[in-house]
Amino acid sequence: MQDNHPVWLFNESKHVGVDYSDTGVAADYDNRHQGFRDFEAEAERIAVALDLSANSTVLDIGCGTGGLSVCLARKCKNVYAVDISQAMVEVLNLCNSVGNIIQNLTGITPEIIQAIDDL
């Protein structure tokens, strides 16, 4: 992403906190979140709050490894899961290709973000 943005604008591409671009960290993400996240329950609350249906399309920005995206894809027509971390999206895509393949779930890598930023 370009670094020539105004000083007052938050730089989304600057690394802060956990390094989710590290493939080992990304691969262990789901294990670390199992103890305190219930993606099914979260997806249900979101679906009710947003009145989602089988015809809905969802854009999950900051999807991580797609735990919530997978659950929403079971309820909706299409889910586009976007994350700035290539490693996180790769985990999502690998899990989706190995397990129960969810056809209506699309993991989107940072290249699309870069393409938009370059416009």
- What does the alpha-carbon distance between residue 108 and residue 80 come to, in Å, rounded to a whole number? 7
At 109 the pLDDT is: 83
- Predicted TM-score (pTM) of this structure: 0.77
Confidence (pLDDT) at 1: 45
User: Domain coordinates of the chain in residue numbers?
Assistant: 23-117
Predicted confidence at residue 89, as pLDDT, reads 92
- Provide the pLDDT for residue 44: 97
23-117: CATH topology is Rossmann fold (3.40.50)
Q: In angstroms, rounded to a whole number, what is the distance separating the alpha carbons of residues 116 and 119? A: 5
Can you name the residues that pair with 105 across neighbouring β-strands? 79
Please tell me the distance from the alpha carbon of residue 84 to that of residue 59, in angstroms, as a whole number: 14
Query: What is the per-residue pLDDT for 116?
Result: 66
Place of tokens 């105004």: 6
Cα gap 84→114, rounded to integer Å: 9
Residues of the chain with pLDDT under 50: 1
- pLDDT score, position 2: 52
Q: Can you tell me whether residue 89 is helix, strand or coil?
A: helix
pLDDT at 18: 82
